Amino acid sequence: MAHNLNFNHRTGKYSFFSVKEKAWHNLGQIVEDYPTSKEAIQFAGLDYDVEKSPLFTKGTEIIENDNGIDMIDSELEVPDYFANIRTDNNTVLGVVGKDYHIVQNREAFSFFDSIVGGGDGILYETAGALGNGERIFITAKLPDYIRVGNGDDITEKYIFLTTSHDGSGSITAAFTPIRIVCQNTLNASLRNMSNVVRIRHTAGAKQRLEDAHKVMGLANKLSNELESTFNNWAKIKVGDTEMKKLIQLALCPNKETLKHLQKGNFEEISTVFKNTVDDAFGYAMMSDTQQMETTKGTLYGAYNAVTGYFQNVRSYKNDEAKLQSLVMGGTAQIKSQKAFELCENFALQGVDSLILN
């Protein structure tokens, strides 16, 4: 089974919903209209609670009496550790410490509702659970768009949130713009700003989650700055040679490859890397991505070549791996941010910024 979606035996459905789009591997519920947070929780099969339960292990208890010592098999409580249990089916989702604070699924959705002062402006597009329900994810669209050029090149503004119930990581909320024309996840954050908020699962996590929308106000500032930046990049012409060099630098996997690029030793560079660069460059040249003046031979087009490669060309083991790579700190997110920084430098310094160093 390539996917890792949770199957809820109680309902007989996969824990996933999507608005109008095909759900992962044609599983889950497809709905026609944007749901409320309460409806989204039900559609996605996330209407369960998690509770901490004392953890026990089998052991031997030694009891002294008048006849000597008796050894009795017994259950011993493990101090300071608890099992996180899904209450609807008693599945153990993970083992956590005493300071771990559970954030229920409904509290994650209430975070989204609070961003815009209620549910009216937030549009829930996808949500689901992975594994046994130990990890959940939500994507929601924010009002308004980022517009580039004459307004035909539109980027939607999303917030992605993931949290786990197994103690494996923090609650993460990220601002993730998606360019409609080719569905590129842009993953751009400006210098000295971040598009990600991380909240630890410790005491007070619930309160910090409720307050996180204040920090996510950065999303509005970030989107305004990105609109200005992208419009500027759309006016800067980039030749094929410069575009390929930008792609090489953005996708460069290690220092050894960078040294070969610096010295022009292209025969020493791996075929895998060459093919990756060619695929990204080929994506930039495709007619459906080049038909817009905003990307055709522009710096904005060079940036979209990298983001578009990871979103629309590269193969992934499964959809969970793609999700991890694009929006959860994986390779695609890291390389896309590198491309953003390179384009930023090119806008300031021109071709001089492409000296391989």
What is the residue-wise DSSP string for 57-110? EEEEEEEEETTEEEEEEEEEEEEEEEEEEETTTTEEEEEEETT-----HHHHHH
Which tokens sit at 255?
């220092």
Q: Which amino acid is at 320?
A: E
pLDDT over 90, % of the chain = 10
Per-residue pLDDT reduced to its tens digit, 116-154:
555 556 788 888 888 899 988 888 888 788 888 887 788
When pLDDT is averaged across residues 268-274 and rounded to a whole number, the result is: 82
Residue 11 makes CB contacts below 8 A (sequence gap 6+) with 45
Sign of CA dihedral 297, 301, 305, 311: negative
Q: How confident is the model at residue 355 (pLDDT cuts 50, 70, 90)?
A: low
Per-residue pLDDT reduced to its tens digit, 275-307:
888 888 887 777 555 557 777 888 888 888 888
Q: Measure the CA–CA gap between 323 and 300, rounded to whole angstroms.
A: 24
Which tokens sit at 60?
């031997």
Per-residue pLDDT reduced to its tens digit, 64-114:
777 777 777 777 788 889 999 999 999 999 999 988 888 899 888 887 777
Residue (of 300, 306, 148) closest to 236 by Cα position: 300
Question: Which of 53-57, 167-171, 330-334 ranks highest by mean pLDDT?
Answer: 53-57
Report CA dihedral (177, 112, 194, 163) to the nearest 10 degrees: -100
Q: Which amino acid is at 10?
A: R
When pLDDT is averaged across residues 235-239 and rounded to a whole number, the result is: 88
Q: How confident is the model at residue 1 (pLDDT cuts 50, 70, 90)?
A: very low
260 vs 101: which has the higher pLDDT: 101
